[in-house]
Structure formats: C-alpha cells, structure tokens
Chain A
Amino acid sequence: MQISTRQQNRLFTANRRRIAAVKRQWPLYIFMLAPMAFFIIFKYLPMAGVVVAFKDYNIFKGVIGSEWIGLDVFREIFAQPQFYKALRNTLMLNVISLLTFPVPIILAILLNELRMKWFKRLSQTLLYLPHFISWVIVGGMAIRLLATNTGSVNEFITGLGGTPIPFLEDSLHWIATYVGIGVWRHAGWGMILYLAALTGINKELYEAADVDGASRMRKIWHITLPGIKPTIVVLFIIQIGHMADIGFEQPYALQNGYVMDVAQVISTYVYTVGIQSAQFALATAVGLFQSVVGVILLLSAELVSRKVNNQGIF
C-alpha cells in the first residue's frame, strides 16, 4: 500500500499535534502518577491476590511461588458446616435488618411535619450523632448497658422487681439487639437523604391539597410518599445489592462467646479462619465467594434500578 506525500504529511502533523498535547498536559500525568500507583498497588494487586484461593498457599513461597491446586480449596469450604452457618447468619441478619428499612423514612416524614424550627434542628442533630460513634465504643456501651449481670438496663429492671433480659447472651435476644443497635446508629444518618428528597417536593401540591381540604395523612400518602418514591426505590435496591456483604466491625464488636451460633458471619469467619488460624487459602476462597456474590447482586441491583427508575445507581 502506498501513502501519498500529502497523507504522510498530514499523519505527521497529527502525530506532532498529539505529542504537543501530551507535552502541554505533562503536569497532569505527574499528578496522576502517585494516585495511579496507589490504585495499582493497593487495589489491583489484592485483586490479583485472590489467586491464593486456587493455590496451596505457603508463607515461605509467597503468593507467586505457591503451587496451583485448582478448586480443592472450594471443595473444602463447601464441605464445612461452619461456612454454611456463617453464610446463613450473614443473610439472616441482613434480611432482618432490611425490615427496619422504613425507619429513616418515617423519621424524615415526622420531622418534616414539625413546624418549630429550633426543635427540628436540635432533634436532627441528636439523631445523626450516633453515626459518628465508632463500633468499638457502641459495642462497649452495649455491654455497659445491656449485659445481664452488670448492665445498667438490667439493674434498672431488677430494681423494679423484674427478671433480667439476656440482651447479649441469648441467641434470639442478641439478634434483636444487633438489629436494634444498627437502627440506633444508622436511622438518623439514613434520614438525611429522605429529608433532602422532601425539600424537592413542589410546595404548590400541598397548597392545592389544603384547598381541597385534605387531611395530614392524606397529604403524606398522596403527595409526600410519591414525592420521595424514587429515593426510596434506589436506596432499597442498593441495600438488596449489599445482602451478601455485612461489614466487619458491627458483628465483631457485638458478638461474644455465647451467641457465636448466630453471630459468626462471613466477614468475622474469614478473619478467624484466615488471620487468626493462618489458613490463608481457605479464607481467601470464602472472601472471593462473598465478593463474587456481592458483584452479581450489585450489578443486578443496577439493572433493576435502570428498569424501575430509568436511571442507574452508578
């Protein structure tokens, strides 16, 4: 194939222009150097590190030097009852927590109905506050307040002549406590998004409803709720997308020896098996299983959101 001189020239100037553009923007490449190095080392290398799940990991040989053993590790975890228990507990705690989904919505609507500015602002501030308390401290406070023998709440109950409630020591009570504390810490924070959505509702709708003599409940039902429906749907879908993923700190800070049967979730199981007992391949495989389920759920959530809201989450 022959290229005419003219074309050659044009290609040449185009190339030169491209090089000139790169030259002009060189500071941007320098800016991206450290951040990209960060993402490659601390985000992409661990992604590659999941190969440990398919290897007979040996500390001395390292990730690269260890031998491949295919799916043996997965066969091993799928044969372990503890794995199923952790999986079951993860799903169970997430599903029960999902039942508390309406709490922030109710809080936002109630707060929105308030007329007194100072009271509104003060309550909001108090409602967000627990979100900033670390899980360790929340866990410590839970023991201080709820332990059967020494907890303040139970001292109060026995003081009134009642029998102490094993909030943290009995499986069923523990599940309720876990979910309740989750609401305590997050409801106010979750409420912010709904409050923001509420300010976006057209005020004229309420005025028109007033003229028609609508009651407060009717206005909430026919104007407020439809107004924040898109927000509700998106947040609900996101939460479904996180079903397999329970986080580590909440279950770890709240669990204790009596309730391990219901409190051992995938994240804490991975920690116990992986870091504490140094069964790295096994724990990586469990983590990988959870991550893959998580990605599938998130992508499905994205698809559902595009269908329902004509708009993706991401």
Chain B
Amino acid sequence: MLRNPSEKLTNAMIMIIIGSIALLCIVPMIHIFALSFSGNRALMSGEVFLWPVDWNLNSYKEIFSDMAMIRSLMLTVILVTVYTGIALAMTTIAAYALSRRDFKGKNIMFGMIIITMFFNPGIIPNYLLMKELHLLDSLASLILPIAINAFLLIIMKTSFSQIPTELEDSAWMDGCNHFRFLIQIVLPLQVPILVTIALYSAVDRWNMFQDALFYINNIDLYPLQLKLYQLVINSQVNDATAQEGFNSSTPIPQGLQSASIVFATLPIILVYPWVQKYFISGRLVGAVKG
C-alpha cells in the first residue's frame, strides 16, 4: 500500500502525533490511578508517576469505611436507576405518539416541545419552581425537571418514524392496538435507540453536579459528584486559603483524593469500551440538531 519511503515517513509521523495526543488523554487518568494506590511516603516525595510506588490500599480502605461516601454511592446508584427508567419510559411513549401519522393536536404538541429547546429561562426560575413545589432537598428535584430531554426525544422520534407504515397497517388489520403495537413490534425493533437513550440518561445523572449543587442542601442527600466536589475541589480551595491564614481546615491527603476520583470514575471507564458505539451512533443521529 505504501509506495515510497517518504510516504512511510509521513505515516510514521502521523502515528506519532496521534499516538501522543491519545496518550495525553489517558496519562492524567493513569497518574491519578497510580497515586491512589501509593503509600503516603511515596506521595510526599513525589516519585509516583504512572505506576504506584509502595503499593497499598489504605486510601480505598478509608473511602469504604466512610459511611457518608458509601451513602452517596448508593444514593447515586438509586438515582441513576430510577431516573433512567423514568426517562426511558416517558421518552418512549412520547416518541411513539409523536411518530404516528395522524392525531389531532400532534403538531401543536411537537411545536411546544421544540420551543423549549430554544428558550432556556435560566437557573433561578427553575430553582424557584422547585422551591414552590417543595421539591428542594429531595431526590425528585434531580429526576423530574429533566425527565424528558427534548433533544433525545427527537432522536427517538426520528428513529421510530423509520418503521414502515405497511407494518403498522398490517398490524392494525390483524387487530393490533396501540399498546400491543408499541410493546410487541416497535420496542423489539428499536433496541439500539432505546439503549442509546438509556445510556445517555444514565451517564448524565451519574455525572450530574449542577442540579445537585442547586437543589440539595442536606448533606445526607449528597450524590457522588457533590460529595466529590466537597472532598476534592472545595477542600483544596480551603487548603490554598488556609496557607494565607483564612482557614484552618486540615487538608485531605492526596492519596484519598485520588482514590475518590478513581472510585467515582471507574464505573464509567469500565463500561465505556462496550457502550461507546451507542454514544457515537447517538451523537451522529443528533448531529444536525447540535
């Protein structure tokens, strides 16, 4: 394939460039991983780079003995599961109804949904709504406000619309109704898009930070990312100000910080190789919609 030496050389150069950029993406993560398994003395002397020095599990033992951390993890798992279920169910029924050919008011409803993608009233009206509905400091505040994502709904609707109308016609002839058609024909045919929407929703809530920061004050209800923010970012900011004499909080050891980063990221990194094709197909389907 490669005809001459100069082409081989460019090829090697491109490989080196792409390879180093790819390494740049992964090296910080490996470094944090190595820090989390290293002993305190090795951490202090700064000799840990990509491989743990003085291997031990102390940081992880500390995390797993921290009840607040375990509680945050459990809470996040529950949140992600419940949210994904609700989001998937709501998006599916709406996408199904909107992808059928005729019913009165369909276009008005679809128009109303599209409009919500253009105008975002900002965070305070949303916060005040949560407040007036008495949803602050509840898990519902992290689930309900985004139970349907208009953008994902459109992706799903587009996909449902591709089911041939002949199939629907013949199903109706055989006495099928909407419920049976949805459950027995549409859903089995649409597994890839269902998986895509479920994964987007699950990752969104696993990584969710903003909503939790706004709506959750009760420390017992902190999801993982908020807990992590408090542990890894906030403590560091305090640490920096402490040196100027503003604050005397004890700094959190870097082994513990690294371990909690790994702890909260590992689930995503572990499932990532298997699920990335769904994310990419979802990204491509929705590409034009930005």
Q: Which residues of A contact B187 (CB under 8 A)?
A: none
20 further contact pairs, Cβ within 8 A, besides A35-B93, A38-B90, A136-B207: A25-B103, A25-B104, A31-B97, A39-B150, A114-B11, A125-B276, A129-B272, A136-B225, A140-B229, A140-B261, A141-B29, A141-B32, A147-B236, A184-B24, A192-B284, A216-B7, A286-B122, A287-B123, A291-B121, A314-B290
**In the complex, B190 has a CB within 8 A of chain A:** no
**In the complex, B240 has a CB within 8 A of chain A:** yes
Alpha-carbon distance between A157 and B243 when the two chains are bound, in angstroms = 22
Given A42-B147, A125-B273, A271 contacting B214 (CB threshold 8 A): yes
Chain A, Cβ-Cβ closest to B26: A126
**In the complex, B185 has a CB within 8 A of chain A:** no
Q: Which residues of B contact A274 (CB under 8 A)?
A: 123-124, 127
Q: Choose one: A29, A159, A192, A294; the contact of B280 (CB below 8 Å).
A: A192
Query: Could you pull out 26 A-B pairs where Cβ atoms are within 8 angstroms?
Result: A38-B147, A41-B129, A42-B144, A46-B125, A49-B121, A62-B132, A126-B25, A133-B207, A134-B208, A137-B232, A140-B232, A140-B233, A140-B257, A143-B233, A144-B261, A147-B236, A152-B46, A189-B283, A192-B284, A253-B209, A257-B240, A274-B123, A274-B127, A283-B124, A287-B123, A295-B118
Q: 7 tightest CB-CB pairs across the interface, nearest first? A: A287-B122, A49-B125, A134-B207, A140-B232, A35-B94, A27-B178, A46-B125
| CB-contacts of A282-303 with B (<8 A) | 283-284, 286-288, 290-291, 294-295, 298-299
| CB-contacts of A102-120 with B (<8 A) | 107, 110-111, 113-116, 119
Establish whether residues A49 and B14, one from each chain, have CB atoms under 8 Å apart when the complex forms: no
| CB-contacts of B259-273 with A (<8 A) | 261, 264-265, 268-269, 272-273
Alpha-carbon distance between A123 and B20 when the two chains are bound, in angstroms = 9
Establish whether residues B241 and A257, one from each chain, have CB atoms under 8 Å apart when the complex forms: yes
CB distance from B171 to the nearest CB of A (A): 14
Establish whether residues B116 and A39, one from each chain, have CB atoms under 8 Å apart when the complex forms: yes
Alpha-carbon distance between A170 and B113 when the two chains are bound, in angstroms = 44
Alpha-carbon distance between A123 and B17 when the two chains are bound, in angstroms = 11
Chain B, Cβ-Cβ closest to A256: B237
Contact with B along A43-61 (1 / 0, CB 8 A): 1111111101000000000
| CB-contacts of B16-58 with A (<8 A) | 17-19, 21-26, 28-29, 31-32, 35, 46, 48-49
**In the complex, B221 has a CB within 8 A of chain A:** no
Q: Choose one: A147, A234, A275, A290; the contact of B127 (CB below 8 Å).
A: A275
Alpha-carbon distance between A84 and B22 when the two chains are bound, in angstroms = 39
- Chain A residues in contact with chain B, CB under 8 A? 18, 21-22, 25, 27-29, 31-32, 34-36, 38-39, 41-50, 52, 62-63, 107, 110-111, 113-116, 119, 122-123, 125-130, 132-137, 139-141, 143-145, 147, 149-150, 152, 155-156, 159, 169, 184, 188-189, 192-193, 196, 216, 234, 238, 248-249, 252-253, 256-258, 267, 270-271, 274-275, 280, 283-284, 286-288, 290-291, 294-295, 298-299, 313-314
- Chain B residues in contact with chain A, CB under 8 A? 1-2, 7, 10-11, 14-15, 17-19, 21-26, 28-29, 31-32, 35, 46, 48-49, 90, 93-94, 96-98, 100, 102-106, 109, 112-114, 116, 118-129, 132, 144-148, 150, 153, 177-179, 203, 206-210, 213-214, 225-226, 228-229, 232-233, 236-237, 240-241, 243, 254, 257-258, 261, 264-265, 268-269, 272-273, 276, 279-280, 283-284, 287-290
Q: Choose one: A114, A128, A147, A184; the contact of B14 (CB below 8 Å).
A: A114
Establish whether residues B46 and A159, one from each chain, have CB atoms under 8 Å apart when the complex forms: yes
Establish whether residues A28 and B100, one from each chain, have CB atoms under 8 Å apart when the complex forms: yes
CB distance from B228 to the nearest CB of A (A): 5
Establish whether residues A152 and B31, one from each chain, have CB atoms under 8 Å apart when the complex forms: yes
By secondary structure, the A interface counts as helix
Q: Choose one: A50, A257, A275; the contact of B125 (CB below 8 Å).
A: A50
Q: Which residues of A contact B268 (CB under 8 A)?
A: 132-133
Alpha-carbon distance between A43 and B287 when the two chains are bound, in angstroms = 23
Chain B, Cβ-Cβ closest to A25: B103
Most interface-central of B15, B226, B228 (chain A CB within 10 A): B15
Q: Which residues of B contact A27 (CB under 8 A)?
A: 177-179
Establish whether residues B177 and A45, one from each chain, have CB atoms under 8 Å apart when the complex forms: no
Chain A, Cβ-Cβ closest to B104: A22
